[in-house]
Structure 1
Amino acid sequence: MTASFTQQFDQHGTWRRNFAHRLKWLTRWLNENELLNQSVAERLHDVESQLRTSRVMVAFVAEFSRGKSELINAIFFAGYGRRIMPASAGRTTMCPTELGYDPAHPPSLRLLPIETRLEPYSLVHWREEPARWTHVDIDVDDAELLSQAMSKVAEVRWVPVDEAKALGFWSDDNLDDNPVPDSDGRVEIPRWRHAVLNMPHPLLEQGLVILDTPGLNAIGAEPELTVSLIPQAHAVVFILGADTGVTRSDLAIWREHLVTEGDASETRIVVLNKIDTMWDILSTPAQVDAQIQRQRKGAADVLGVPLTQVLPVSAQKGLQAKIRRDVPLLQASRLPALEAILGEGLLGKRETMLRLAVDASIAALRTEASRILNVRQRDLSEQALELQGLRGKNSSVIRHMRTRIEQEQSEFEGSNTRILALRSVQGKLLREVYAVLGSTALKADMGRLATALKRRGIKFNVRKVYGETFDALRNNLREVQATTAEIQSMLHATFRQLNAEHGFTLQAPPEPDLTDFEQQLSQIEQSHVHYLGVGNLLKLAQPDFCDKLVRALASRLRVVNEAAMTEVERWSKGAGAQLDAQLKERRRTFTKRIEAVERIQGAAGNLDERLAELAAQERDLSDLHHRLDELTAVLLNHEAPNSSSYRSELSAA
């Protein structure tokens, strides 16, 4: 049998923990041997933290009654022997629900009241306001109590139409999409706006985050879901009913909230759920399979996705089979095939991304550490030649050498003026970068967008407004790229001069390439372009809705700008740290040269002793170089995380 998603995620988590442990061990070894500059140390710390704490989000999206919560139960919570997410008839998830684990907080279910929609704040703001949430303690060891707690995400309220309209659940322009009023003229709405479950489930502890989203009305009324949470998910599972195929509301969710440009095969998985409704004792297995294949092909054609991307499943039978340990029923449910696709596509892609981050950091580490070792090697050779020249010389010659070394040291320290000037100009240019990408500039850009969107009436030019905004944001990145090019040119010139004057081996690190961040902006823009379809023009005529949309957009753009600034800052620190390392090595060399001459002045026999010490130090440096190559080669070895050689190497480290 193919490994389930749970098994694959467990293997992925083990690999991440082992790799982070080895990375930490290497960092400690480098630090003990003074081979780690501040820039590389920070980068390695970031990678180690990413390996230990990085999260993998899977978003489940569907219209009501498609079996979404049941699918979550089948994949993640079958071990409890019962349903955890509300999935029985008439009870389903009514508000967006995040399931994850943060050990800094006790296990609990946090619920944000729906009334917070009436206030001009985003979910990002409310996350920092714990007093406004309703907290429910949970017992993760008691399945019954846990299920009772989770049933709260299915709670509803009955409110007058005016209140439903204010909260975004009623539209006078789309009456067909409105909830059905009861005899008193009231309509059903969710009691909660957002829910966050914090529990030490084995998968959640390893960084999995599950996002359970409600139907079309709730998605459309929360722009933050569409432009922030769902696009940032590493995989989106879109659930259809096998008995209904693609309905009008299914198609609306897909087109307006999930379709993005480019190949989505690795991030958009379409599940044709409830295939057990087609199991018919009057039909042969071949006939049932043919019917399922027709539904698959129909869904693939309507949604415009490859047939391999549409997976038939029975979540209900899969959950039942896991609880009963019924292998034939589990195979019939076809749940293992979905879990395999999730594991291979999602985790494989995530592991590749982590590998690339680690490889880049290890390559930078190896380069810098090797450069420091080469500088030490050269300084030792020069010291040995200098001392060998003292053989047979009298005390006056030795005193003269000491004077000359002290003069060289004084001249070297005097050259620091140029280095200070470099850092001053570099700091000024970096402040310009922060001004372009900082929160003040972004706030101004978002303010202009908000003003344009709040103009009265239906905004048929909304795509143009968005296009102009994103053009400005991309131009900001290009302006920063021009600034980094100016800094790079200055670094090259100064480093060449210092290398010529002092024999340094300085080399400016590669200039940061910000095109990836431009592409991220384009992806965000594209998600908005889909979101700004004709179906949302009436919503965009509402100032409150526009406020929510702009706040959600600003939150996502802030992440991109901050990441770009971090990249530029890391590059700048890399250049500075390299210079600091060679300055430190040169100062240490001056100190050791003077100490050697003093010892030789005290006793002539110390010359041979000092030369022997230098030879021993050169051998030690050679050993360090060899060990550095060994340790970094192990980290760059791309073996599977569960391989025996990987585990043995880790034990050896």
Structure 2
Amino acid sequence: MDLRQYEQAKFALAEILRSAATLVKVDHDGELADQFQNLFARLAEDRFNLAFIGRFSRGKSSLMNAILGTDRLPTGIVPLTSVITTVSYGTNETVILRYRERHLDIPISIDDLPRYITQEGNPGNALGIATANIELPAQILRRGFYFVDTPGLGSTITENTQTTESFLPEVDALVLVTSYESPLSEEELRAVETVARGVQVFVVINKQDLVSDAERQQAEEFVRGQLRTHFGDTAPEVFSVSARDAIAAKLARDRSRLASSGMPVFEARLSSFLVDHKQGRFLTRMCDRVRSLLQGFLPMDGIPDPPWTDRRDGPDHRRPI
């Protein structure tokens, strides 16, 4: 799909939304109007959500830091993230807090971020923050990618798991972060099953620096076996990394240590997907969201399948042109 086709497809989706939004205004449905506005904004921004999910203390924030080549996202060994945190491109390092019950966005220093997004600083998200939006001058973010750090699954803090599960419909691609301590928990596998239809999934086993080669091989075989059992030939790719070693290597410009961390292999595959397949996946997911939003108050017969996909084999066999 070239740029012209991509823009034409976006325009077609926008026209469908615009026509339907007129009906919503007539019905005075404020909640639906907000949902339409959100979809319009995502189309305009080319916003592609790459979400990082997994149990608490798997190293999701550390993995994001490793990809971005920074150590600015808070990390730790206890349940940390209690708020959906997005990272997008900006020429300067900035953080904007968006609250659930306030219309005014609040800028803060990134050094103050732990006070608002961690379980220690903001237990159970008592402050009512909807999202914390970070802008960083990282090259991989320049093409409209939003890296999304989510609260850990399976912790005793039920609000954190609920926050992550409620965000899953907004995911365009997914990085499941598990670890060698107890690879691929039930909650993590269930989350992958929830979003697997039409969504690219990468599975990363983190903390390879904590195990021997034999333990690493055994854990990888277990994870791949579990994924094949549930997904067959469409099982997600599995990567072994040490995010901690990768961050240290990048900050020290140590190429040898970076290579042994496993990060270059994962980053190459991730970058290839984001560059080569982002447009088709973005449009397909947006079309699905539009159809879902219109269901219930508009006849679906008038809404065609998107021209950039092939649905002849069912919804799980959509192929970008």
Which TM class, normalised by the smaller chain length? 0.5 to 0.7
Q: How does 1:222-237 map to 2 (within 5 A)?
A: 222=163, 225-226=164-165, 229-237=167-175
Task: Show the counterpart of 2:152.
Answer: 215
Contact residue 237 and residue 269 of structure 1 kept, 8 A: yes
Task: Show the counterpart of 1:201.
Answer: 137
Task: Show the counterpart of 2:182.
Answer: 244
2: CA distance, partners of 1:476 / 1:277: 55
C-alpha distance after superposition, 1:182-236 (max 9, x if no partner): xxxxxx53444433224252444431211111122345423xx535x43342311
**1:59 has 2:51 as partner:** yes
Task: Show the counterpart of 2:21.
Answer: none
C-alpha distance after superposition, 1:381-438 (max 9, x if no partner): xxxxxxxxxxxxxxxxxxxxxxxxxxxxxxxxxxxxxxxxxxxxxxxxxxxxxxxx99
Instruction: Select the residue among 266, 283, 294 that pairs with 1:338.
Output: 266
Contact residue 313 and residue 334 of structure 1 kept, 8 A: yes
Letter in 1 for 2:162: A
C-alpha distance after superposition, 1:10-45 (max 9, x if no partner): xxxxxx9xx58xx99xxxxxxxxxxxxxx99x66x9
Distance 1:331 1:308, change over 3 A: farther
The unaligned stretches of length 5 or more in structure 2 are 16-40, 285-290
Contact residue 238 and residue 270 of structure 1 kept, 8 A: yes
**1:295 has 2:287 as partner:** no
3-state DSSP class of the match of 1:343?
A: helix
C-alpha distance after superposition, 1:352-406 (max 9, x if no partner): 56899xxxxxxxxxxxxxxxxxxxxxxxxxxxxxxxxxxxxxxxxxxxxxxxxxx
Task: Show the counterpart of 2:300.
Answer: 477
The unaligned stretches of length 5 or more in structure 1 are 1-15, 25-38, 117-125, 139-145, 159-187, 280-287, 357-436, 446-472, 482-511, 527-637, 639-653
CA root-mean-square deviation: 4.5
Contact residue 81 and residue 118 of structure 2 kept, 8 A: yes
**How many pairs align?**
270
1: CA distance, partners of 2:44 / 2:292: 28
3-state DSSP class of the match of 1:215?
A: coil
Instruction: Select the residue among 183, 193, 203 that pairs with 1:259.
Output: 193
Instruction: Select the residue among 137, 158, 162 that pairs with 2:108.
Output: 137
3-state DSSP class of the match of 1:94?
A: coil
Contact residue 86 and residue 131 of structure 2 kept, 8 A: yes
Contact residue 61 and residue 212 of structure 1 kept, 8 A: yes
3-state DSSP class of the match of 1:209?
A: strand
Letter in 2 for 1:258: V
Q: Say which structure is richer in helix.
A: 1
3-state DSSP class of the match of 1:156?
A: coil
The Cα of 1:51 is off from its aligned counterpart by: 9.8
Distance 1:111 1:300, change over 3 A: same
1: CA distance, partners of 2:281 / 2:56: 34
The Cα of 1:97 is off from its aligned counterpart by: 1.2
1: CA distance, partners of 2:272 / 2:59: 23
Q: How does 1:45-124 map to 2 (within 5 A)?
A: 53-78=45-70, 83-90=71-78, 92-100=80-88, 107-112=94-99
1: CA distance, partners of 2:108 / 2:42: 29
Contact residue 93 and residue 153 of structure 1 kept, 8 A: yes
Letter in 1 for 2:183: G
Normalising by the residue count of structure 1, what TM-score does the alignment of the two structures yield?
A: 0.35
* Percent of aligned positions that are identical: 21
3-state DSSP class of the match of 1:59?
A: strand
The Cα of 1:293 is off from its aligned counterpart by: 1.9
The Cα of 1:108 is off from its aligned counterpart by: 3.0
1: CA distance, partners of 2:262 / 2:144: 26
Q: Say which structure is richer in strand.
A: 2
Distance 1:301 1:100, change over 3 A: same
Distance 1:199 1:272, change over 3 A: same
**1:278 has 2:266 as partner:** no
Letter in 1 for 2:117: V
2: CA distance, partners of 1:438 / 1:59: 21
Normalising by the residue count of structure 2, what TM-score does the alignment of the two structures yield?
A: 0.66
Contact residue 156 and residue 190 of structure 1 kept, 8 A: no
3-state DSSP class of the match of 1:194?
A: strand
Letter in 1 for 2:189: W
Contact residue 99 and residue 211 of structure 1 kept, 8 A: yes
